Amino acid sequence: MKTNEINIDQVVEQSRVGAFQIGLLVLCGLCLIMDGFDIQAMGYVAPAIIGDWHISKASLGPVFGAGLFGMLLGSLILTPVADRWGRRPVLLVSTFFFSVCMLVTTQLQSLDSLLIVRFITGLALGSIMPNAMALVGEYSPSGSRVTRMMWISCGFTVGAAMGGFVSAALIPAFGWRAVFWVGGLVPLALWVAMLFWLPESMQFLIVRKRPLEQVKRWLHKLDPALKIDADSRIVAQEAPATGMPVAELFRGGRANVTLLLWLISFMNLINLYFLSNWLPTLIKDAGYSTQAALLIGTSLQVGGIVGTLVLGSVIKRVGFTRVLGSCFVAACIAIAMIGQVAAIPALLFISVVVAGFCVVGGQPAVNALAGTYYPTALRSTGIGWALGIGRIGSVLGPVIGGQLIAMQWSNGSLFMAAAVPAVISALTVARLHWSSRSFK
């Protein structure tokens, strides 16, 4: 009797967008929206906290750094866990944990307690992006994989932008704590929905030799017409993983690309988090109102949303390295201009939007590049460690910014210095282009 062999990769490749895939995209997208909202919340509430607690601007630098350092550790520690135990459990635990931490933040009264809670919150937030992107990629046909992964990662930028609009509306009326109430209650409701409807990666279950009952369940949801019986043999194209996931990033000829991805992410996240955390405060110091400063800061994220949506389709046509190299060259110019045109609102707005398009919009492309380069058994670890190493830069960006502000650097000098990492990112992308044919 002939065995009915079902290849998961072929089923995914031939799948059409239906209720199941739309549900997955919505859940992961909402998860990343709240991830972006909660990560960026501190940048938006910073001016209000400074006024409420009567503290200096520079004293918030360590608080920014603590949250980002927590994210760094979360990326490095929890993504290998996901490649061992699954995307779904890590996403569920992390979403619940960071929602509780945001609610705890509403009750804080001191800078020290805020620093500690932001660090703990960051631990959970650090695992959201890599696992959500990996899960979406593993349910996407190859022709739409990059686009879907970038669309989903756009949720992070949407959430960051929403944080600006929500903060501008809530802080004048209810105070800065209201922002954290929203950032805690919404993901808690999302967590309940994820309990019922979030699937696990079928490729992961096969590669890790898990029981097939769940695989059959998700296969049936993906293709209700698929015939699956007790004798069906379910296979995946990839071989089972061996060894430690992190060590595998440097084997099989992957070492060079891994290191270049880490450097690109490191440099870009220095810029992204310096701009995200300090831009509203620096714009207010340039003579703008708190609300105007928040809205200009939000325009950085709006530029990032547009960048993510546009860059995905362009990358599909011309490749990762050509698009990213051009983006980082433009980012260098735009960031340097922010400090030079602060007194001219129209030019300031344009410079911030272009910087957001290139820096904020470029980071999802870097993440998607990692997600398409690494195999299933290493996908969460590959994305997570690129983000984790990059988040060393995200910690340094706000902290160094705080120190330079304390040293009385002018806005012009600050943004000129911030343009340097974009130059290094562009040069590193050029090196990646010429060293690996995979991305041309």
Q: Single out the residue of 135, 158, 118, 117 nearest to residue 79, CA to CA.
A: 135
Q: How far is CA 371 from CA 81, 145, 209, 272, in A?
A: 17, 9, 22, 20
Q: What is the mean pLDDT of residues 307-326?
A: 89
Phi, psi of 334 (to 5 degrees): -65, -40
- Please check the confidence at residue 393 and state whether its pLDDT lies above 60: yes
Task: Provide, rounded to the nearest whole percent, the portion of the chain with pLDDT above 90.
Answer: 35
Rounded to the nearest angstrom, the gap between the alpha carbon of residue 34 and the centroid of all alpha carbons in its chain is 11
Can you give the residue range of the structural domain that contains 365? 5-439
Amino acid at 404: L
Q: Where are the alpha helices (DSSP H) in 86-211?
A: 87-105, 111-125, 128-138, 142-174, 177-197, 202-207
Q: What is the mean pLDDT of residues 404-430?
A: 91
More confident call, 281 vs 436? 281
pTM of whole model > 0.85? no
Tens digits of residue pLDDT in 189-236: 999 999 999 998 888 888 777 767 778 888 878 887 777 776 677 777
Contact 306, 427 (CB under 8 A): no
Count of domains observed in the chain: 1
Q: Single out the residue of 136, 139, 133 nearest to residue 15, CA to CA.
A: 139
pLDDT grade, residue 1 (50/70/90)?
very low
CATH number of the structural domain spanning residue 394:
1.20.1250.20
- Please check the confidence at residue 350 and state whether its pLDDT lies above 70: yes
Phi, psi of 233 (to 5 degrees): -105, 115
Q: Is 328 helix (H, G, I), strand (E, B) or coil?
A: helix
Question: Measured between alpha carbons, how far is 356 from 219 in angstroms, rounded to an integer?
Answer: 39
Question: Measured between alpha carbons, how far is 131 from 201 in angstroms, rounded to an integer?
Answer: 10
pLDDT grade, residue 239 (50/70/90)?
low
